Amino acid sequence: MRIEVEINGRPYAGEVEPRTLLSDFIRHEAGLTGTHVGCEHGVCGACTIQLDGETVRSCLMLAAQANGRSLLTVEGLAGGGDLHPLQEAFHERHALQCGFCTPGFLLSAEALLRERPDPSEREVREALAGNLCRCTGYEGIVKAVLDVAAARRAEAA
């Protein structure tokens, strides 16, 4: 069946089977390979994207369910060529090594900071507990997210 999905503000259409996962549609039909597939059962978070601004596991949605909906993937974070502040902070704080978990972390953190612009460290750790990283030990990731929250506080002040 044919579906039409808006991803990062652009329309994408394609033929899918009912069993086609959204993660596979994003990667293979839309060609956006920044969204990664780690476990296909929802625990690792590498496939995390945003649907209408809320995080979801793309490996646990059928592509058919995204028909007519609006998605954000990691490719849509940076506007106009500049890195998103979270991406800058991840770079500064060595919050990535292999980078496999990073897109999922970025989208989870982006959603967190919009709901809770000034989270405590504990709130950051709990909100990101659904994203697993095998390389970094998480310290840099948590610091990067807190840096971005602090930057907002500084600007607003």
Using CB under 8 A, list all residues that contact other proteins. Answer: 1-2, 9, 15-19, 21, 24, 40-42, 45, 48, 50-57, 59-62, 64-65, 70, 72, 79-80, 84-85, 108, 110-117, 125-127, 129-130, 152, 155-156
Please report how close the Cβ of residue 41 comes to other proteins at its closest, in angstroms.
Answer: 4
Closer residue to other proteins, CB minimum distance, 48 or 73: 48
Please report how close the Cβ of residue 5 comes to other proteins at its closest, in angstroms.
Answer: 13
Closer residue to other proteins, CB minimum distance, 11 or 79: 79
Closer residue to other proteins, CB minimum distance, 31 or 79: 79
Instruction: Report the relative pairing of strands 10-15 and 70-72 from DSSP bridges.
Output: unpaired
Q: Output 108-114 pairs: Cβ under 8 A, ≥24 positions apart.
A: 108/45, 108/48, 108/55, 109/141, 109/144, 109/145, 109/148, 110/50, 110/77, 110/84, 110/86, 111/50, 111/53, 111/54, 111/55, 112/145, 113/86, 113/145, 113/148, 113/149, 113/152, 114/53
Please report how close the Cβ of residue 91 comes to other proteins at its closest, in angstroms.
Answer: 15
Closer residue to other proteins, CB minimum distance, 12 or 24: 24
